Each structure stands twice: as structure tokens, then as C-alpha cells.
């Protein structure tokens, strides 16, 4: 999972002022899901926050390896 998250972070970081943060739900309210956040690199303001199934995160990272991340690819399935 960490490898997939790192790949997604690298893809989002390419020529962008937006950063992607992802990890397990810190509050435990969404067990087994990944909390995905898009935020401004400078101000750290969160623009978007979503819980996604880990399979979707891994699938997005693998299918877009080495390319810019298409909009909506991480959150294209319901959590």
C-alpha cells in the first residue's frame, strides 16, 4: 500500500501546486479504507478529502505508472 501511495504522490506532484496525502483512517471510523486528501503545497489547505478502497488506490497507481494522474482516477469507485 505504501508503494502505491508513493507512486500516486509522485504522479500528482509532477508540475503541480497540489499535493496528495493518503493513509489509513486515523480515527478508525472507516476501517479498511484509505483516506485520500488533495491539498495546496504552500498553505496546506485541504481541497478534497475522500475515503477509497485500498484496491482502487493500488489499481490507480499501477495503471498510471510513470504518467500524470488523470482526474478522478483514485476516486472513481465508491468507498
- Which tops the pLDDT comparison, 46 or 28? 46
At 47 the three-state DSSP class reads strand
Going by the DSSP 8-state scheme, the letter that residue 68 receives in this structure is P
CA dist 37 → 29, 51 (Å): 16, 9
pLDDT band at 5 (very low <50, low <70, confident <90, very high): confident
Question: Which stretches of the chain are assigned E, i.e. beta strand?
Answer: 18-24, 34-40, 46-52
Say whether pLDDT at 19 is over 70: yes
- Residue 71, pLDDT score: 57
**% of residues, the chain, pLDDT over 90:** 4
pTM of the model: 0.64
Note the pLDDT of residue 31. Answer: 87
Amino acid at each position: 500500500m505504501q508503494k502505491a501511495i508513493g507512486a500516486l504522490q509522485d504522479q500528482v506532484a509532477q508540475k503541480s501546486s497540489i499535493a496528495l496525502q493518503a493513509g489509513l483512517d486515523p480515527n478508525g471510523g472507516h476501517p479498511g479504507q484509505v483516506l485520500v486528501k488533495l491539498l495546496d503545497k504552500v498553505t496546506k489547505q485541504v481541497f478534497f478529502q475522500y475515503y477509497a478502497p485500498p484496491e482502487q488506490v493500488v489499481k490507480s497507481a499501477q495503471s498510471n505508472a510513470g504518467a500524470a494522474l488523470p482526474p478522478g482516477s483514485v476516486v472513481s469507485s465508491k468507498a
